[in-house]
Structure 1
Amino acid sequence: MPLIVLTGYPCSGLSYRARQLADQLEAAQTDLFTAGILPPSKPRYNIHVVPTHDPSHPRTVYDHARTEKESRGVAYARAKRFLGTNSFVILDGMNYIKGYRYQLWCEAKALGTTCCVVHVGTPIDQCPSIHSRWDKPLFTVPWSDASPPIAEIWTALTGIPHPSTLNLSPTPAAEQEKPTALSSLVTSLSSTHLSPSSAASTTTTAAPSSLRSNRPKIRPHQATAMPAATDSSALYSMEKRTSAIVTAIRGFTLTNPSAEAALAQSDDGRGLTIPVPEASIPVFIPAHVATAGSTDELAAAGGILALPRLQRLRRQWIALNRAYVMGTHAASKGGGLSPEQVPDAFVRFLNAEFGAEEEV
């Protein structure tokens, strides 16, 4: 069935229009079945929206020609796969290359179906862009102008009409019946006074609704918001607690140097269980991993619990979590890992590392 190819500028609403088309095509065939124009025995048309980017091909593919070509090839293959006798295919994307659209038209023609192009005509100056969104609104002052457009700039920044746009010379009768917006603003400002009960509180007459600010509220985001202060001892706490766990494992290897002997004495036949301080879960090493080293000694060179390896795993875990504890992500989550959570988190990391060797 038909192929619909969307075109338009980036951020012009292509995906929104694609979803609209899909919903309205679905509603149209529902109405046709309800009215009896299409017989109940006829199967419903499948409607597929094929995007040119997905989690595997994000919008950054357009930064380079090679990655954009790969993404375009994936979308082309998906559209070709969905094309059939009982389906609508909507190709969502800019699709600005004429040869690419011709290639899609040839695929539709080869299957004996129709094809159309839908151009989303949002003007380029209305499409949001990461390169120009902080340059709007933009006021251009020609060299020949005697003064800049102060009225438009004032209204854009404050949301309050400029005095030059207000009626400042009403008739005396109209002034008595209905004050102008400017006089209302002056009255509200002049009526501001300190409350006798509290010097810190003030009472102000509400300004007319036409004078209230219409500016959008500026909300700080990750690039502008100051990160919350984190505990300066967080990194020291990580170092201290992880070192205590490595010391406990080292003490276990000194008490039980042989892997075979340690497994024979273990209460759990599945492997070695090593209790560590401040952690609610023990370090667990599967039996086949404990005996997989090049030597039977746990702490010897080549052993599964050799001290250099434990120190390397500790440094790796601290490097992975330093940004989480001290960075902006920790600030947004209220400080990241608490000191009480560090031992359990490190033990889970060690168990995953030792257990992962099962598949090696």
Structure 2
Amino acid sequence: MTAPLRLGTRRSNLAMTQSQMVADAVSAASGRPVELVPIVSEGDVNRASLSQLGGRGVFANGLREALAADRCDFLVHSLKDLPTQQPDGLVIAATPARADARDVVVTRDGTPLGALGAGARVGTGSPRRIAQALRHNPRVDIHDIRGNVDSRLARVRDGELDAVILAAAGISRLGGDLGGLLAEELGLSEWPTAPGQGSLAVETRDDIDAEIYAALAQLDDERTRVAITAERTVLSALDAGCSAPVGTHASLVEGDLRLRAVVYALDGTQRIGIDRTVRLDPGYGGDTTGSGNGADAADDGGPIAQATRAGQEAARRLLERGAADLVPRESTT
């Protein structure tokens, strides 16, 4: 009997759910069974604020150590939690098709964030979301929270909080049941989200068996990879950590790559934004078949390279406009 492939994943309900989705797809592509290997990350046991933990890969390091030690064959990450610096010996084999990249504000009665009254208690642990919420409604009282999706929703349902801000993709992957609560969807133009939000990353060793790599690469969605490359390049070029108050979103529209990037002051009082539109090479259709380009894609002069340059140019313009004064710098993104 063929030995199962081992998929390393965090232990949370959301991580296990989205890893199982990938496991099923890899099993279909490879013809081999795939088993989940739950792994504890620093971010799962360290209850410090995300603003204190910074961009040190606290949700990825433990998984990557297990992968390097051959305790698993590949990993599934939420891409927004993944540092932009790729470790030696590891490669992103696939970025599956992206889910909804938006944030949502969840309340008991559907009151929009901008209409919440003075002192309304809004829960989020993300410095970006804190800055955006305060800019959107400076009257609210931000509560720095951690925890899984269910526990955060429970704090609204029980009246401890008036609202929480969550990723739409996570709610959707868990079935979309808010237990009677109501969600306000936040538009990406006014409220750009974390680089790579809504996307997953399938990571493996660069010396993995070629047949396994080929099966993983079948999950790659080129449109997603192009968009998240632009977004994450902005973060990298700004030298900002994963939890920095930076919102980016890129989309492909009729052959154009459209990139929006905004840097916020931590208290929401200032922001600096940039919009870039880049025409992709003629003939690029952005089809959704697996490209199998892997880590070498940025060298081919195609849409990945164009996305990289677009992200670098956006970051350069943000820095020229004073973004360095707003963003906490991180040398370990």
Tell me, yes or no, whether TM beats 0.5. Answer: no
Please indicate the TM-score interval, normalised by the length of the shorter structure.
Answer: under 0.3
More strand by share: 2
Q: TM-score, normalised by structure 1?
A: 0.23
Q: Determine which structure has more spread, i.e. the larger CA radius of gyration.
A: 1
Q: TM-score, normalised by structure 2?
A: 0.24
More helix by share: 1
> Which is bigger in relative contact order (C-alpha 8 A, separation at least 6)?
2
